[in-house]
Amino acid sequence: EVQLVESGGGLVQPGGSLRLSCAASGFSFSTYWMHWVRQAPGKGLVWVSRINSDGSSPSYADSVQGRFIISRDNAKNTLYLQMNSLRAEDTAVYYCTREPVGRVEPDYWGQGTLVTVSS
Amino acid sequence: QSALTQPASVSGSPGQSITISCTGSSSDVGSNNLVSWYQHHPGKAPKLMIYEGSKRPSGVSNRFSGSKSGNTASLAISGLQAEDEADYYCCSYAGSSSLLFGGGTKLTVL
């Protein structure tokens, strides 16, 4: 069974940093591209970042470019999102998602982890 | 890029059919067949219902169907059931390894 479990969310002050993790199981993690998608309170889903299978080619939404870093450890079956210079508008539930091989649209999603940026 | 445009809400009675539209542009929805639809019950993981415009993943009811015309994609649900009540999001590949989501549609089963 495919499982994606996010962790690392919490309350952080504006300007602070946080690192999210996503533990993957039930599939060959190292062969899949992965995404982070977020949902602000009462708002819709917004794509944040994507990384290829070996971690060599990340991409980012304009809103987080230069502040967030996506990475992965294929030996640990774990995806990461390092979030720096956090702003109030980064407050959201962050989901990690799997991109099927040969396709683009994510198939499996985790249940998300809440990040709150507030003083 | 702006979010894809979806109606904020739709409703229907059990057994009825509804359609949710998703309007984008020639740079996203209109440029490829990489449109997907997700069902999201708050507090749970979103679930893929339709991919590549009209394909259903294994295990998804055939009451759900997808289509596209020009810059607008649509999700149709027939034979509405109480458990279909959820938020629905469309998603399109938008180039440069990015994805673009719709604002979401709240489906109410009356």
pLDDT digit string, tens, across residues A50-74: 999 999 999 999 999 999 999 999 9
Structure tokens at A119: 């003083």
Task: Reply yes or no on whether the pLDDT at B31 is more than 80.
Answer: yes
Terminal Cα distance for chain B, rounded: 35
Per-residue pLDDT band at A17 (split at 50, 70, 90): very high
Please report residues of B whose CB lies closer than 8 A to that of A95: 45-46
Terminal Cα distance for chain A, rounded: 40
Helix (H, G, I), strand (E, B) or coil at A90: helix
Beta bridge partners of A34: A51, A98
Task: Reply yes or no on whether the pLDDT at B1 is more than 80.
Answer: no
Task: Reply yes or no on whether the pLDDT at B81 is more than 80.
Answer: yes
Residue B100 host element (H or E): strand B99-101
CB distance A107 to B36 below 8 Å: no
3-state SS string over B17-81? CEEEEEECCCCCHHHCCCEEEEEECCCCCCEEEEECCCECCCCCCCCEEEEEECCEEEEEECCCC
Give the whole-angstrom CA distance, residue B92 versus residue B86.
Answer: 20
CB contact under 8 A, A61 and B51: no
Contact with chain A for residue B52, Cβ under 8 A: yes
Query: What ranges make up the beta strands (E) of chain A?
Result: 3-7, 10-12, 18-25, 33-39, 45-51, 58-60, 68-73, 78-83, 92-99, 113-117
For residue range B36-79, what is the model confidence (pLDDT) as tens digits?
999 999 889 999 999 999 999 999 999 999 999 999 999 999 99
Task: Reply yes or no on whether the pLDDT at A33 is more than 90.
Answer: yes
What pLDDT is stored for residue B26 in this prediction? 86
Mean pLDDT of A2-22: 97
Helix (H, G, I), strand (E, B) or coil at B89: strand
Q: At A44, phi and psi to the nearest 5? A: -90, 180
What pLDDT is stored for residue B97 in this prediction? 82
Per-residue pLDDT band at B33 (split at 50, 70, 90): confident
What pLDDT is stored for residue B2 in this prediction? 82
Q: Which of B48, B98, B104 sits opposite A44 (nearest CB)?
A: B104
Please report residues of A whose CB lies closer than 8 A to that of B35: 105
Mean pLDDT of A8-24: 98
